[in-house]
Every structure is written in structure tokens, then in C-alpha cells.
Chain A
Amino acid sequence: MELIQRIQPLHLDVLKEAGNIGAGNAATALSSLLNKTIDMKVPAVRVVSFQEVQALAGGAETLVVAAFLRITGEAPGSMFLILQKSEAEHLAAALTGQRVDIGNDDLEEMAVSALQETSNILAGSYLSALSDFTSINMQPSVPALAIDMAGALLDAGFVEMSQVGDYAIVIDTVMEEPEKTGESASIGQFFLLPDPDAFRQIFRALGVNMP
């Protein structure tokens, strides 16, 4: 039976719960980095087509800043930190104290390095919480950062799942400043895309059977 047919709503709930544990830890890390309260939560775990993952990130052609890393260990997968242009500018300014114009090719090296380091800290705290919770060993690679079309950047995360089907299981994490409202409250999002072979490990560790 194909993976997608074996994944039940219960499994998605379990993944959401696990994602929220990672998100909570990452939020604490980011809050102390920026010295203000940041909320991170997993609104839903989605089983979506590759096209829909692009839509979640703002659309295939939308300019985004993305940090990508691979997770190795017992539950391999891919992780993206996706920042829309304004979110990246905002975050880079908060980190470096300088205004940056993203999409301008002489993007400050300092801003890139600050965003890369931040994604490293966020992914690290997210995964270490997830790893503690599941007792699964997960090692993140150092993230690589790129500024380009969302669709093009996400391709890198689809290589494994596309070998078993036409969908991805996305643990989508939103980051917000609770003191703000509307669009400006959003500071970015995280996608965790487990590899097809990771699911059995994750569910077994959390005591859920998968047919």
C-alpha cells in the first residue's frame, strides 16, 4: 500500500503535536535572540501536492529568502526556513541593526550571514526538541541560504518524496509576533518535510501504529 493511503488523520495529529514541541523550543530561542516575544506554532500538518507546497510558500515565482538543510539520522528529511521579502528585511534589520534591501544584488553579506545563523539556531532548537521528544537521533546539516523563486528553491526538498508519489507531508510552522496584528505580525515560516522512510520511525517512536 502506498504511503499516502497508510497515513490517517490520527497520524497527522501526532505529527502536529510533535511539530508544536519543536516549534515551542525554537520560539524560545528566537525570542531570546530578538529580545521580544515570538510565537511559533503548527497550524496544520498537510498532505499536499508539490504545487500546493509552492502555494504555501507564496507561489512558484515569488521571491523568497530560504534556508535549506538536510536532516540525517534515523528519521531523515528536509527543512526550510522561508521568509517573504519583507519578513527577511525585517528580521535582518532586527538582527543587524541595519536596513537591507533584499533582491538588490549587493545584499549585505552581514544580513545573509545573520539570517543563515538564525536559521541554524532555529532549526537546531526545533530539531533538538523533536529529537528529545521522540528519542530519535536527528542531525541537521549546516543550512544553505538562497534568495530566489520559491518554486525553484523548494525543488530541493521534493527529491525524496517525489520518488514515492506526487505529494509531500508538510509540517508547516508559522512564526508571529503576538504584539502585532495582521500581515506585519508574521515573521516567517518553517517547513519540515520528512523523507518517506522517516514516517515509520517517527510513528513507532510516538507509539502509533502505521498499517
Chain B
Amino acid sequence: MTVTEKQIIKVGMADWKAVSAPDAIRTSGLGSCVGIVIYDDKRHTAALAHIMLPDSKMARNKALNRAKFADTAIADVLLALKAKGCSAFQLKAKMAGGAQMFSFSSGSDMMRIGPRNAEAVKHILKENNIPLLAEDTGGNKGRTITFYPETTSLHIRTIHQGETVI
């Protein structure tokens, strides 16, 4: 008998991956970036995208990395989940990140990139009728997140406040 080990698939910055239970999926060190999990709880399949910027219109080069921007990353994730047999109406989402790690007295737009990332993701989810069931966004803390498609729980680890589950 072979025992299948649970694996934790790691997603880097400006990347996304899909995973099915019993495997889990993780991304580390989210600051202003947002980790967005879109999952099908009937199929126990999930995708996690680690996005850096809210909108692909911000790209100044033509050969853009679609996984870096909220709009293009989520569009690609939805196609991939569909290709795996997930139905659009079954999809749900959880997200974390979008922090502002440093506080400056001059609140420039650049420093607000975290909140802008979170807002963009919410807007795109709404457009696609995907319910956002839980989120832990904003603040000034770094987060490492792990999603378990089996239980649909999102574990959030921080340095100063330990681990929470949403």
C-alpha cells in the first residue's frame, strides 16, 4: 500500500498555482502583496495567487507577467479552475495581505499599494460573482498563508500575533 503524503505547494511572488486535496498551498512573506485563494469546496480544488499590483494597466512593458496583477492573475486562475472541472457558481474566495508595512507622514499613493491591492481584488471578485467568505487584510503586519482545500481553512501566520485561521 502506498501512502500519499500531504504536500504543501509553494507559490512565489507574482505567481499562482492550483492544488487539490490532500495537498495544501502556501505563499510566504506577504506585505503589501495580496494572497488570493479561489476554491471549489465540492471538488476540494483551490488556486492561490500572490499578486503585487492592483491593475495590469500599470505595466509599462508589453511582455507583462500576468500573475503579478490582480485583474490578469484572477482571470487566468478562473480559466485554470474551469479547466480542472470547477463550476463557476461553486467558486468561493478567501484573501489575506494588503498591509502597509511602513508608516510615513506623507501618505503617497505608492505607500497605499497594499490597500489598493486588496480593494482591486474585492472589486474583481464582485464582478465575477465570487463570494469572499473571509479576509484578513490591511494593518501593518507581514503574513504567511497556507490554504487547505480539504477543510477550506486559511491559516495566517504573523511574527507578532501568532497564527490565526479564517
Contacts and interface: CB of A to CB of B under 8 A. Distances in A.
Contacts, number: 107
A208 interface: no
Contacts of B111: 156
Chain A to chain B: the 8 pairs with minimum beta-carbon distance, closest first: A151-B29, A152-B142, A152-B31, A60-B29, A155-B31, A149-B142, A144-B102, A60-B28
Interface string A58-94: 0011010000101000000000000000000000000
Interface stretch (B40-48, B53-61, B127-135): B53-61
Interface in B57-81: 58-61, 63, 65, 68
A160 B110 contact: yes
16 contacts: A2-B61, A61-B29, A61-B144, A103-B159, A141-B104, A149-B28, A149-B29, A151-B31, A151-B142, A152-B30, A154-B31, A155-B114, A158-B52, A163-B53, A164-B61, A196-B60
B14 A148 contact: no
A159 B113 contact: yes
Contacts of B60: 163-164, 196
A60 B50 CA distance: 13
A150 B29 contact: yes
B158 to A, nearest CB: 8
Interface on chain A toward B: helix, strand, loop, or mixed SS? mixed
B118 interface: no
A50 B159 contact: no
Interface string B98-142: 010111111010110110000000000000000000000000111
Nearest to A141: B104
Given A50-B13, A162-B53, A166-B14, A153 B142 contact: yes
A118 interface: no
A109 interface: no
Contacts of A178: none
Interface of A: 2, 50-51, 54, 60-61, 63, 68, 70, 103, 105, 141-142, 144-156, 158-160, 162-166, 196
B5 to A, nearest CB: 22
B52 to A, nearest CB: 5
A76 to B, nearest CB: 10
A155 B103 contact: no
A141 B61 CA distance: 28
Contacts of A150: 29
A35 B114 CA distance: 40
Contacts of B32: 155-156, 159
Contacts of B106: 141
Interface centre among B113, B140, B142, B143 (most CB of A within 10 A): B142
Nearest to B103: A144
Contacts of B143: 149, 152
B110 A162 contact: no
A68 B102 contact: yes
A142 B106 CA distance: 10
B85 interface: no
